[in-house]
Amino acid sequence: MSYLFTSESVSEGHPDKVADQISDALIDNFLAFDKDSKVACETLVTTGQVVLAGEVKSKTYLDVQKIARDVINKIGYTKGEYMFDGNSCGVLSAIHEQSPDINQGVDRSSPEEQGAGDQGMMFGYATDETENYMPLALELSHRLLKELAEIRRENSDITYLRPDAKSQVTIEYSDDNVPQRIDAIVISTQHDDFNTSEEVMLSKIKKDIVEILIPRVVAKLPAHIQKLFTDDITYHINPTGIFVIGGPHGDTGLTGRKIIVDTYGGKGAHGGGAFSGKDPSKVDRSGAYATRHIAKNLVAAGLCKEVLVQVSYAIGVAKPTSINVETYGTATVALSDGEISKKVEEIFDMRPYFIEQRLKLRTPIYSETSAYGHMGRTPEVKTVTFTNPMGETVSEEVETFTWEKLDYVDTIKEAFKS
């Protein structure tokens, strides 16, 4: 019997994502001037106010207020009527030095023996149902909001959009887990005050979403996914009605409250640790990236159609306490999941130092991860530039989303002879 599965996404203007983006902008600035920076930074945003808190060990000094304001303005909170804008909001910093008790468990005389920044378990997932090996419901949810943000910035086809928005997509799957059709799409978008009746306002917003946004998204999809967009989709557009008050004025935002949006939309599993605001010594982040890298390469190599990879650590200890691979019965080799796990452990060194080196994580690449998902993105080589309060400017070439590279496919095929 067929079944339904749903995933959601939130826009860059959602209050929790505003907080994530500020935290990751701080990470990038610290790493740009000091590659050895250890940072755990949380952000709270609310009406007219930003609060920064966390622990830092770094040789550099930053103007954290300016960094936060620049992020807020870039997102689009630039008007006083939003009750939260980058130029006028208050920014309070309560960032202090990292505990030496924690640091002694991470830093080692031999870099290779760098300890894990915390205990816990991390998961990576991949499936062959999309070209980027991501769950389809989440991929479509992200695409809807990225396109909506593009339309907002163009300010031509739809002129009333504000930064805050959420989406949700429900997919019908067959018994053998193949997407059959889109059952429902939910979009709630913040908007200007129409000064009309609520009925007229909602009619206009729904018409624009269905006739402008949806066709733009569909046009960028592969043909086999386009076929899932039928006339039978149920649309819930701004189902609560008026959505003028939004963003941090409508709801307080906190770093790390959208971890399912950041990963796999509820598919696979999640270890519970957030990513944003953490330097790569924190295995909540680097371990999750490394397991996604493994999972994606396993599926791309044809070893299985779907896979979940788990790794776990003890704080201050370099070697993982466990590595486990679950193929959901889709493995194409005559090996148990336990045997596959052993081979994966031989191929990928999962000690924190080697993850950082393999995925080039000690570079300022994190701002781009903080909205529209950390997984399923396209790697890109680019030059980034940062300036600190002392007038120092650094530029460097970085590679983003390295954990999405399919650079271990041949190695896996050779190891498994697949």
Binding residues for Mg(2+) are 16
The owner of tokens 């979403």 is 209
CA distances from 252 to 48, 86, 148, 246, 328 (A): 11, 16, 22, 10, 39
Cα 267 to the center of its chain, rounded Å = 14
Euclidean distance between CA atoms 148 and 217, whole angstroms: 9
Q: First CA to last CA across the chain, in angstroms?
A: 32
The half-sphere exposure of 365 on its side-chain side, counting CA atoms within 13 A, is 24
Cα 135 to the center of its chain, rounded Å = 14
Q: Which residues are annotated as a binding site for ATP?
A: 14, 164-166, 251, 257-258, 274, 278
Three-state DSSP class for residue 29 = helix
What is the DSSP annotation of 295-326? HHHHHHTTS-SEEEEEEEE-BT-SS-SEEEEE
Euclidean distance between CA atoms 131 and 144, whole angstroms: 17
Cα 163 to the center of its chain, rounded Å = 18
Q: Provide, for the chain, the percentages of residues in helix, strand and coil under a 3-state DSSP scheme, each rounded to the nearest 5.
A: 35, 25, 40
Q: Which residues are annotated as a binding site?
A: 14, 16, 42, 55, 98, 164-166, 251, 257-258, 274, 278, 282
What is the DSSP annotation of 162-192? EEEEEEEEEEEE-TTS-EEEEEEEEEEEEE-
E strand intervals along 204-248: 234-237
Q: Are 137 and 5 in contact (CB under 8 A)?
A: yes
Token pair, residue 158, equals 């739809």
Give the number of other CB atoms < 10 A from CB of residue 352: 29
The owner of tokens 């486990």 is 324
Q: Which residues are annotated as a binding site for L-methionine?
A: 55, 98, 251, 282
Q: Are 309 and 325 in contact (CB under 8 A)?
A: yes
Give the number of other CB atoms < 10 A from CB of residue 53: 16
Euclidean distance between CA atoms 99 and 96, whole angstroms: 9
CA angle 400, 6, 266 (to 5 degrees): 55
